[in-house]
Amino acid sequence: GAGVSQSPSNKVTEKGKDVELRCDPISGHTALYWYRQSLGQGLEFLIYFQGNSAPDKSGLPSDRFSAERTGGSVSTLTIQRTQQEDSAVYLCASSSHLEQFFGPGTRLTVL
Amino acid sequence: AQSVTQPDIHITVSEGASLELRCNYSYGATPYLFWYVQSPGQGLQLLLKYFSGDTLVQGIKGFEAEFKRSQSSFNLRKPSVHWSDAAEYFCAVGPLNTGNQFYFGTGTSLTVIP
């Protein structure tokens, strides 16, 4: 089925390197969310895109984190100069009528 | 501040037994309420949602939840648990009129024993 897809599924990187995580939302969904899920924690909101409106970046933990959404579809979350505390599962969700559909996530490990 | 509390970090039940997972929220008005399930290595799947109306909502996989305004609760229930229900369960509220965010609880891990 045409669900939310994320790539890569796993990413191992060295401290200080930049990483890019990709999200392909469900076609036609105008809303897109990024979350971070750390071990034993709930989902931490990172950023929200809605159509052509300015994104809600209020959840980004530092200026090393950024995201963009091209053409109202694919989104990329970029983490610059990764730190060990960035290790987590990064989840993307697209939304229709307040219901979020989640991708399988990208597990990021920073060594 | 808005928040969601799932007081039970881990619950173990026997297969066939009933289940109740607790969720409490903190918000000044009636929020939109959700329960999600996350199986190992999978994304979150919506079990059920409450927006308004009947306070007892039915979801997929035989789950139901009841919204109790007086207790600010939205507990998830299932009358008879199956081994395949073993997973992590998350309660969520939102989006709220203060922004676009959904707030998630820290999750309850369910183990089902034969």
Show which residues on chain A lie within 8 Å of chain B, measured between beta carbons: 4, 33, 35, 40-43, 45, 48, 50, 56, 58-59, 91, 93, 98-105
User: Domain boundaries in chain A?
Assistant: 5-98
- Conformational region of residue B75, where left means phi above 0, alpha means psi within -120 to 50, and beta covers everything else: beta
CA distance A5 to A71: 17
Q: How far apart are CA A50 and CA A32, in angstroms?
A: 7
Q: What is the mean pLDDT of the segment spanning B88-103?
A: 80
What CATH number did the domain enclosing B59 receive? 2.60.40.10
* Domain count for chain B: 1
CATH H-level superfamily of A5-98: Immunoglobulins (2.60.40.10)
Which of B44, B45, B102 minimises the CB distance to A45?
A: B102
Pick B49's closest partner by Cβ from A93, A99, A103: A99
Q: Which two tokens stand for residue B112?
A: 């089902």
Domain residues for the domain of B43 are: 3-113
CB-based contact B43 A45, cutoff 8 Å: no
Judge: A42–B90 Cβ closer than 8 Å, yes or no: yes
pLDDT (tens digit, 9 = 90+) per residue, A4-43? 999 999 999 999 999 999 999 999 898 999 999 988 777 8
Q: Are A30 and A99 in contact (CB under 8 A)?
A: no
Chain B residues in contact with A33 by the CB 8 A cut-off are 102
Using alpha carbons, list the distances in angstroms from residue A106 to A65, A92, B81.
15, 9, 30
pLDDT at B42: 79
Inspect the interface and report whether the beta carbons of B49 and A100 lie closer than 8 Å. no
CB contact under 8 A, B32 and A33: no
* Percentage of the residues of chain A whose pLDDT score is greater than 90: 70
Residue with tokens 């996530």: A105
Joined tokens for residue A58: 């209020």
Per the CB < 8 A criterion, the answer to whether B108 and B6 are in contact is: yes
Residues B92 and B6: beta-carbon distance below 8 Å? no
Choose among A68, A71, A82, A78: nearest CA to A111.
Answer: A82
Which of A62-66, A87-91, B52-56, B89-93 is predicted with the least confidence, judged by mean pLDDT? B52-56
Dihedrals phi, psi of A82, to nearest 5 degrees: -55, 145
**How much is the mean pLDDT over chain A?**
92
CA–CA distance, A71 with A82 (Å, rounded to integer): 27
